[in-house]
Amino acid sequence: MPTFMEPFRIKSVEPIPFLTRAEREESLRASGYNLFRIDADRITVDLLTDSGTGAMSAAQWSALLNGDESYAGARSFRRFERVVTELTGYPEVIPVHQGRAAERILFSCLLGPNWVSVSNTHFDTTRANVEAIGARAVDLPGLDSEFGGDLDVAALRQLLEDGAAVGCVVLTITNNASGGQPVSIANARAVRELCDLHGVPLFLDAARFAENAYLIVERDPAYHGVSPREVARELFAIADGCCASLKKDGIANIGGMIALHDKELAAKCRDKLIISEGYSTYGGLAGRDLDALAQGLLEVTDLDYLRYRAESARWFADELAKAGLPVLRPTGCHAVYVDAAELLPHLSLQELPANALACALYAEGGVRTSDLGTLCFGRVDPNGGPDEPAPRELLRFALPRRVYTRNHLEYVAEAAAAVAARAESIPGMRIVEQPAMLRHFTSRLEPLSSAGVG
């Protein structure tokens, strides 16, 4: 069948806002040209993130009513724990309110000042949590195009042989910062071997474990026909444990977890959990959240659902390419990434092409995307010199799970075509106010042209 379609029908709907161009331009000015700072009721199609923005199934909504809100040992926790252990094989399951809480707790048990965490790429909050401990986050992305999420094994070997104080290796599946590309089973195994040789624990940042598993089924001939759930299990089995934001592949609006083999490490994590997140059987979540997550974790490995995720991302990438945008290929599942520097060659990287493009798209059609370029990943010079640009200047069109139909995405592609047609007139951006860390969330910017973003 040439046409894929959403493998669900819609039972509950929510209106979306339509604004005039003048209203959108006013929103941009008022927000300091930072789309995080624009209220959602001023966004027409929101592709800012696939995190916590998914639509729950009827089964998840009904699971909410079964939530057991007991402080300790709730039935909801036991259900969550059972589903997670069956999926991952890890017996120690610790719920947290979202991924970054898992990162903070796990890393503070594994790392100390001047230790090193190595990853295919630390996501922004992951890096921030490593650095907050005084440790160093080292990214070693690989180069394989089919498995663009792989970690550079030769570079890891070198680092370990040089005697770096590596406290953990973290494989981010899929690798969000490098285009949502999967990590291959072979790469995970090779990393495991090196970790074993040097006595370093290996963890997964498993936020998009199901999408990674599906992409392995598609791209690795040895896994054609294997169920995504089985592949996911195999990935989990390679590592010592995982931390995860369940706002992605848990298909719920909030939640996260740490899941481990090691009882002692789990006990340390629980001690820290209780100080800031909550008791060990709820970790900052309501009982009903745990029920929705348990159900979501069962649904997310469904083959038809994952095929729809991958097919819609591919189709949307083709539409954006037809619209004149340089898209990154192959596409993953959770987003389509566009090379903003290539579309806007008249801007230097310090002029933040990804942010400039994001603002132009919002002005055009009320479409919200996210900047994964220098504003997000660039290194700020503590001595006030120019920023060290990010390796790539990407704009991400994230795809919330089960939320937007092909029509919504066609509208986005039309807005993108209008923006691409006037690419050379899009002005660069300048930061006028920024915090010390994670500046993309709150900084204020202005266009380098008095004519605005046009």
Check: CB of residue 173 under 8 Å from CB of residue 206.
yes
Return the closest-CA partner of residue 284 out of 246, 254, 242, 247: 254
Catalytic residue at 248? yes
Q: Taking contact as CB under 6 A, which single stretch among the options 10-18, 98-106, 217-225, 350-358 is the one that binds ligand F0G? A: 98-106
Return the closest-CA partner of residue 108 out of 252, 211, 258, 240: 258
Q: Taking contact as CB under 6 A, which single stretch among the options 96-104, 187-195, 374-382, 443-451 is the one that binds ligand F0G? A: 96-104
Binding of ligand F0G by 34 (CB under 6 A): no
Binding of ligand F0G by 296 (CB under 6 A): no
Catalytic residue at 404? no
Catalytic residue at 132? no
Output the smallest distance, CB 269 to ligand F0G, in A. 16
| Structure tokens given for 264 | 């002692």
| Structure tokens given for 297 | 């974790």
Output the smallest distance, CB 53 to ligand F0G, in A. 9
> Which residues of 163-260 form beta strands (DSSP E)?
166-172, 202-205, 241-245, 256-260
HSE, CB side, 13 Å, CA atoms: give it for residue 432.
11
Active-site annotation holder among 122, 247, 334, 440: 440
**Phi and psi, residue 204, nearest 5°:** -105, 140
Check: CB of residue 165 under 8 Å from CB of residue 195.
no
Active-site annotation holder among 123, 203, 209, 362: 123
| Site map 115..144 versus ligand F0G, x via CB under 6 A | --------x-xx------------------
CB-nearer residue toward ligand F0G: 243 or 360: 243
- The answer to whether the Cα torsion of 23, 24, 25, 28 is positive or negative is positive
Catalytic residue at 207? yes
How crowded is residue 308: how many other Cβ atoms within 10 Å of its Cβ? 19
Residue with tokens 């040209």: 33
> Which residues of 222-325 form beta strands (DSSP E)?
241-245, 256-260
Helices and strands, number each (H, E), in the chain: 17, 14
Q: Which of residues 51-70 bind ligand F0G (CB under 6 A)?
A: 51
| Site map 169..208 versus ligand F0G, x via CB under 6 A | ---x---x----------------------------x-x-
Alpha-carbon gap, residue 296 to 247, rounded angstroms: 10
Alpha-carbon gap, residue 410 to 303, rounded angstroms: 25
| Site map 222..261 versus ligand F0G, x via CB under 6 A | -----------------------x-x--------x-----
CB-nearer residue toward ligand F0G: 31 or 176: 176
Which residue's CB comes closest to ligand F0G? 99
Cross-strand pairs, 258: 94, 243
Output the smallest distance, CB 143 to ligand F0G, in A. 20
> DSSP character for 182?
P
CB-nearer residue toward ligand F0G: 109 or 376: 376
- Cα–Cα distances in angstroms (integers) from residue 269 to residues 91, 145, 276, 323, 399, in the given order: 14, 36, 11, 48, 32
Binding of ligand F0G by 389 (CB under 6 A): no
- How many residues lie near ligand F0G (CB under 6 A)? 15
Output the smallest distance, CB 125 to ligand F0G, in A. 5
Binding of ligand F0G by 439 (CB under 6 A): no
Catalytic residue at 124? yes
Active-site annotation holder among 71, 165, 237, 322: 71
Active-site annotation holder among 46, 50, 68, 124: 124
241-245 vs 256-260, strand pairing mode = antiparallel
Positions touching ligand F0G (CB under 6 A) are 49, 51, 98-100, 123, 125-126, 172, 176, 205, 207, 245, 247, 256
Known catalytic residues are 71, 123-124, 205, 207, 248, 440
